[in-house]
Every structure is written in structure tokens, then in C-alpha cells.
Amino acid sequence: MNRLLADTLSALNGVLAIVITIAGFYFGYRAAGFPLGGGIGALIGFLVAALCCGLISYLTLIEGHLSRISIGMHGAPVPACEHGLRRVEPRL
């Protein structure tokens, strides 16, 4: 169930960003009463969308990396890097 919710949130992330930006335009236009207010509202909405949806994107990316690490720890092979070499951690 958690996997389904995470995938759904990841898929709807772009739609959420568009809705936040349009809502910023609408509220900016309604508050100022002229088109420049809508532009300022859209800019603020875009910044809020970038922060919120960017955070969701990074958390989704981290979750994907952690699931790959978890699969590697349980005996399944970890996929090689793009250039064909495996990453080697330094010994301390």
C-alpha cells in the first residue's frame, strides 16, 4: 500500500505544481485587481510549487536509491554504474 501511495504522489507531483501556480495567479489577480497582480501571484505560486514539489521529487529520488541499496544488501546483485564499473568505497 505504501508503494502505491508513493507512486501516486510521484505521478501527481507535476499536476500539483501546475495547480499551485494557477492558484497563485488567481489569488494574486483577485487581491490586486489588475493583471500585474496575477503575474506577481503566479511568480509567488511558482516559487511555492518549486519548493513543495521539489521537496517531493527529492524525497522520491532518495526513496528510490534507498530501495536499490536495500535490494543489494539482501543478496540481489546491485546494477553496475553507467560506465560499467562498480563504485568502490575507500577503506578507512
Is there a domain that residue 33 lies in? yes
Which whole number is the average pLDDT over 3-8? 82
Of the candidates 38, 16, 14, the one whose C-alpha atom is nearest the C-alpha of residue 26 is 38
- 20 domain residue, yes or no: yes
The answer to whether residue 78 sits within a structural domain is no
5 contacts 56 by C-beta, under 8 angstroms: no
More confident residue, 25 or 80: 25
Residue reference for cell 507531483: 13
Number of domains in the chain: 1
Residue 83 falls inside a structural domain: no
Residue 53 domain-assigned (yes or no): yes
Kindly report the length of the chain.
92
Whole-model pTM above 0.75? no
Domain for residue 23, yes or no? Answer: yes
Task: Determine the structural domain holding residue 44 and report its residue range.
Answer: 2-73
Flag whether 58 is in a domain.
yes
Distances 83 to 64, 72, 80 between C-alpha atoms, Å: 20, 19, 8
